[in-house]
């Protein structure tokens, strides 16, 4: 979505009484530069200038920031500092493996910047992800200074009663607010969110109706209407939401036409088996078609859980979902583990952090040679400071007076940022 698509209703959204608007971070940063020819930092400043009363929230991948690799601590600290300075109030921070060592630097930087640190439990289903494991993780995050805890169910795996039990368990042990984030990919989203409310969740994530349901979130208007007059009434006037939805219906139709996008994604209960986040499904199908092996799609879906188990059951969220997906694709096209990409080797070597479960012995034998052992320390300890080098690289490429924000954009997405700078600087 372009910034211009949002501008006409920003003040109206600000007037609704939401706890926060998630307006930045995640994939939006990359999308601004790569597809929309927009500066993500300028987008944030623009939104902030129109949203005066409601907190602005962003999603951050811990030591990965908004990219796919671990960055040095100085890059992480500076990125968070500039995010808050440009308008962010709440930083929802997660690690794909739920390894809190990968959150140490970002959690500290968020607190030092004066923002709200929302520590995240990346939810998934496996023999190594029980309610007791999530409560233990939440306690670690609370001890690290988390101002709230988010249950991040990115694949729509959190069943309604499982959600009720998990929120109940957290409320007994955790002393900060609980936020529930769940997708509707499996068809359970609205039921799960309602059970979260009944269990005492303090906040829940929703999406306006034109962008709700399927692989997105529960519909904002529907949930507000459901809770109006009830014990957990959010005190939001549903009539304020309808004109905003009408605006975004037009935006959606325009985006579909302009960018040749699919109109919607079907609900797919089979996600409960293969556990792939909704956004990945269409990408995987497209990749196979481009490779001329579209007929292997069903085999790929069956291979994904096997690769995930071999890699120690990581939750399938960026970047682990992309890594597992790529490995599964290679396995069905080339043969199992005939070619192993660097990212998979780095997971086996411990460079992404602790996996929830043990990595298969077969994969270890293929990757670890000549007595090599996986690292057991915090992966970022091996990364030297990067900010000065990035600044020097950018100067050498013709941008000696680049702002700190531009240096950070370059650090995260070098090639994409340079293309943007050529057109706009």
SS (H, E, C) 158-197: CCHHHHHHHHHHHHHHCCCCEEEEECCCCCCHHHHHHHHH
Q: Mean pLDDT for the chain?
A: 95
pLDDT of 281 > 90? The answer is no
As a whole number, mean pLDDT of residues 411-422 equals: 97
Q: How does pLDDT run across 19-74, given as a tens digit for each residue?
A: 999 999 999 999 999 999 999 999 999 999 999 999 999 999 999 999 888 999 99
Residues ≥6 apart with Cβ < 8 Å to 83? 24, 25, 44, 58, 60, 91, 113, 115
Which range in 265-269, 285-289, 317-321, 403-407 is most confidently predicted, on average pLDDT? 403-407
Can you give the pLDDT at residue 275?
76
As a whole number, mean pLDDT of residues 107-133 equals: 97
Q: Please give the sequence-ordered ranges of beta strands (E in DSSP) within 270-374, or none if there are none.
A: none
Residue 18, by phi and psi: left (phi above 0), alpha (psi -120 to 50) or beta?
beta
> Cα-atom radius of gyration of the chain, to the nearest Å?
21
As a whole number, mean pLDDT of residues 380-409 equals: 97
Can you give the pLDDT at residue 263?
77
Can you give the pLDDT at residue 267?
85
By CB atoms closer than 10 A (0-12, 13-18, 19+), residue 155 is: buried
- Pick from 307, 202, 206, 248: nearest CA to 12: 248
Q: How does pLDDT run across 178-205, given as a tens digit for each residue?
A: 999 999 999 999 999 999 999 999 999 9
Give me the sheet containing 55-60, strands edge to edge. 20-25, 55-60, 90-93, 116-122, 148-153, 178-182, 203-204
Q: Could you give phi then psi for residue 70, rounded to 5 degrees? A: -75, 140
Can you give the pLDDT at residue 299?
92
| Helix (H) / strand (E) containing 347 | helix 342-348
| pLDDT band at 278; cut points 50, 70, 90 | low
Burial profile 110-120: b = 16 or more Cβ within 10 angstroms, e = fewer: bbebebbbbbb
Q: What is the largest CA-CA distance in the chain?
A: 67
Can you give the pLDDT at residue 307?
96
pLDDT of 424 > 70? The answer is yes
Q: Find the angle CA(339)-CA(94)-CA(83) to the nearest 5 degrees.
A: 115
139: its two tokens: 């306690």
d(CA 59, CA 27): 9
Residue 178, by phi and psi: left (phi above 0), alpha (psi -120 to 50) or beta?
beta
pLDDT of 285 > 90? The answer is no
Given a contact cutoff of 8 angstroms between Cβ atoms, the answer to whether 416 and 34 are in contact is yes
Q: Could you give phi then psi for residue 66, rounded to 5 degrees? A: -115, 10
Helix or strand or coil: residue 20? Answer: strand
| pLDDT band at 215; cut points 50, 70, 90 | confident
Calculate the alpha carbon distances from 274 to 196, 277, 282, 340 in Å: 24, 9, 14, 21
| pLDDT band at 367; cut points 50, 70, 90 | very high
Can you give the pLDDT at residue 139?
98
Q: How does pLDDT run across 238-267, given as a tens digit for each residue?
A: 999 999 999 999 999 999 999 888 777 778
Can you give the pLDDT at residue 277?
66
Q: How does pLDDT run across 137-154, given as a tens digit for each residue?
A: 999 999 999 999 999 999
pLDDT of 276 > 80? The answer is no
Q: What is the rounded end-to-end Cα distance, in angstroms, of the chain?
A: 23
Can you give the pLDDT at residue 162?
98
Calculate the alpha carbon distances from 114 to 37, 81, 380 in Å: 31, 9, 23
Can you give the pLDDT at residue 279?
62
Can you give the pLDDT at residue 318?
84
Burial profile 309-326: b = 16 or more Cβ within 10 angstroms, e = fewer: ebbbbbbbbbbbbbbbbb
pLDDT of 298 > 90? The answer is no
SS3 content of the chain, % helix, strand, coil (to 5): 55, 10, 35
pLDDT of 280 > 90? The answer is no
């Amino acid at each position: 979505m372009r910034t211009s698509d949002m501008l006409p209703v920003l003040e109206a959204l600000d007037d609704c009484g939401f706890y926060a608007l998630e307006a930045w971070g995640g994939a939006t940063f990359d999308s601004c530069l790569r597809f929309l020819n927009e500066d993500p930092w300028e987008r944030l400043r623009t939104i902030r200038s129109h949203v005066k009363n409601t907190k602005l929230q962003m999603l951050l991948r811990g030591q990965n920031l908004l990219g796919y690799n671990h960055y040095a601590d100085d890059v992480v600290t500076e990125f968070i500092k500039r995010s808050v300075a440009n308008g962010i109030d709440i930083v929802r921070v997660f690690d794909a493996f739920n390894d809190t060592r990968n959150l140490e630097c970002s959690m500290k930087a968020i607190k030092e910047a004066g923002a709200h640190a929302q520590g995240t439990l990346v939810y998934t289903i496996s023999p190594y992800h029980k309610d007791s494991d999530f409560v233990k993780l939440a306690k670690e995050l609370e001890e690290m200074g988390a101002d709230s805890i988010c249950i991040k169910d990115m694949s729509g795996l959190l069943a309604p009663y499982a959600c009720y039990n998990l929120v109940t368990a957290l409320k007994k042990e955790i002393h900060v607010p609980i936020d529930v984030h769940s997708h509707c990919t499996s068809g359970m989203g609205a039921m799960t969110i309602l059970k979260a409310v009944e269990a005492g969740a303090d906040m829940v994530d929703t999406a306006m109706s034109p962008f709700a349901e399927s692989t997105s979130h529960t519909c904002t208007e529907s949930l507000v209407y459901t809770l109006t007059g009830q014990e957990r009434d959010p005190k939001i006037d549903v009539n304020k939401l309808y004109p905003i939805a009408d605006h975004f219906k037009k935006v959606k139709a325009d985006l579909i036409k302009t960018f040749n996008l699919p109109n919607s994604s079907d609900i797919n209960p089979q996600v409960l088996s293969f556990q792939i986040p909704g956004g990945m499904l269409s990408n995987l199908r497209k990749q196979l078609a481009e490779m001329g092996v579209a007929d292997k799609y069903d085999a790929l879906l069956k291979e994904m859980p096997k690769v995930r188990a071999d890699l120690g059951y990581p939750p399938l969220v960026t970047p682990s979902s992309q890594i597992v997906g790529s490995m599964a694709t290679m396995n069905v096209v080339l043969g199992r583990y005939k070619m192993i990409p660097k990212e998979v080797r780095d997971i086996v070597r411990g460079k992404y952090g602790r996996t929830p479960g043990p990595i298969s012995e077969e994969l270890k034998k293929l990757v670890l040679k000549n007595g090599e052992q996986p690292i057991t320390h915090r992966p970022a300890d091996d990364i030297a400071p990067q900010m000065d080098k990035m600044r020097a690289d950018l100067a050498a490429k013709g941008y000696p007076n680049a702002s700190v924000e531009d240096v950070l954009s370059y650090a995260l997405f070098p090639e994409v940022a340079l293309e943007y700078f050529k057109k706009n600087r």
